[in-house]
Amino acid sequence: MIRHFTLDGKKIPFREGQTIMEAAQDAGIYIPHLCYNPEFVPHGSCRVCTVKANGRIVASCTTPATEEMQVENETEELQGNRRELLQMLFVEGNHVCPGCEKSGACQLQAVAYYTGMLAPEFTYFYPMRTVDSSHPDVAIDYNRCILCELCVRASRDEDGKNIFSIDGRGINTHLTVNSASGKLGDTDFDVHDKAAQVCPVGAILPKHEGYNIPIGQRLYDRKPISVVGDVADHQEE
């Protein structure tokens, strides 16, 4: 028997064990997200996929769908919550879009556009962060990391290399590289690794490609992420 729940008034079928996010994606409905990638175990940390299920605020990527559940997704209240979460992500890092080669193909930007965010509006932290360019093919710009843990999951679960982890607490939480020097160049990381393909922002960037695709013709320059899909879906192109 096919079971259903309701998403913004629409009947959505789901299989036993599917999350709200998975069932929505199967039905072609976009729920904004950053740390979610269908290829990996959900992490539930960015909270951008927050929905209201039976009146409760939950992360749709970790909450299983249940029969006759009433879910709200595209409401002004939820978009407002998401916008504030994104604003906090922007002020916690150093996201200088005009100076970032990922600009236009960045999921943080794209989700912010989708929610109608015009400016971060909070007080900036301007944290002191570094850039690691020790690897011949890939650079890490810690200024742009949003701690989604996708590279951690990809390296551990798919590449079997366990190169990344998240360390520290609060504003000092940061991505670390598991080598004695802490440098990516001192690991067996490869540009073809899955972990090199999943970063939703410009934190893990392949070198030597920079501005191959001009600004204005990039992934999210013309159409919103709800139509185009995630960064990770387009990495092979």
Partner 1 sequence: MSGKVKVATTSLAGCFGCHMSFLDIDERLIALSELVEFDRTPITDIKEVGPCDIGLIEGGVCNAENVEVLKEFRRNCRILVAMGACAINGGIPAMRNSFDLKECLEESYVHGVGVEDPQIPSDTEIPLLLNKVHPIHEVVKIDYFLPGCPPPADTIWTFFEQLLNNQPVEFTYRQIHYD
Minimum distance from CB of 46 to partner 1 (Å)? 19
**Position among 82, 83, 95, 153 found at the interface with partner 1 (CB under 8 A):** 95
Neighbours of 68 (CB within 10 A): 10
Residue 112 makes contact with partner 1 by CB under 8 A: yes
**Position among 30, 52, 113, 229 found at the interface with partner 1 (CB under 8 A):** 113
Minimum distance from CB of 107 to partner 1 (Å)? 13
**Position among 18, 73, 103, 197 found at the interface with partner 1 (CB under 8 A):** 103
Q: Within positions 117 to 176, which residues make up the interface with partner 1, using CB under 8 A?
A: 118-121, 123-124, 126, 128-129, 143
Residue 80 makes contact with partner 1 by CB under 8 A: no
**Position among 8, 157, 158, 221 found at the interface with partner 1 (CB under 8 A):** 221
How many binding residues for partner 1 (CB under 8 A)?
A: 29
Kind of pairing, strands 70-72 and 3-7? parallel
Give the residue with the Cβ less far from partner 1, 5 or 220: 220
Residue 217 makes contact with partner 1 by CB under 8 A: no
Q: Tell me the CA distances in angstroms from 63 to 49, 56, 68, 76, 195, one per residue in order.
A: 11, 11, 14, 21, 25
Residue 104 makes contact with partner 1 by CB under 8 A: yes
Give the residue with the Cβ less far from partner 1, 50 or 109: 109
Residue 94 makes contact with partner 1 by CB under 8 A: yes
Q: Which two tokens mark 141?
A: 């710009």
Q: What are the DSSP calls for the chain, one per residue?
A: --EEEEETTEEEEE-TT-BHHHHHHHTT-----SS--TTS-----S-TTEEEETTEEEETTTSBP-TT-EEE-S-HHHHHHHHHHHHHHHHHTT--GGG-TTTTS-HHHHHHHHTT-----S--------EE--SSSEEEEGGG-----HHHHIIIIISS---EEEES-GGG-EEEE-STT--GGGS---TTSGGGT--SSSSEEETT-TTSSPTTSSTTTSS-HHHH--SGGGTT-
**Position among 9, 17, 98, 214 found at the interface with partner 1 (CB under 8 A):** 98
Residue 232 makes contact with partner 1 by CB under 8 A: no
Minimum distance from CB of 122 to partner 1 (Å)? 9
* Residues at the interface with partner 1 (CB under 8 A): 90, 94-100, 103-104, 109, 112-113, 116, 118-121, 123-124, 126, 128-129, 143, 215, 221-224
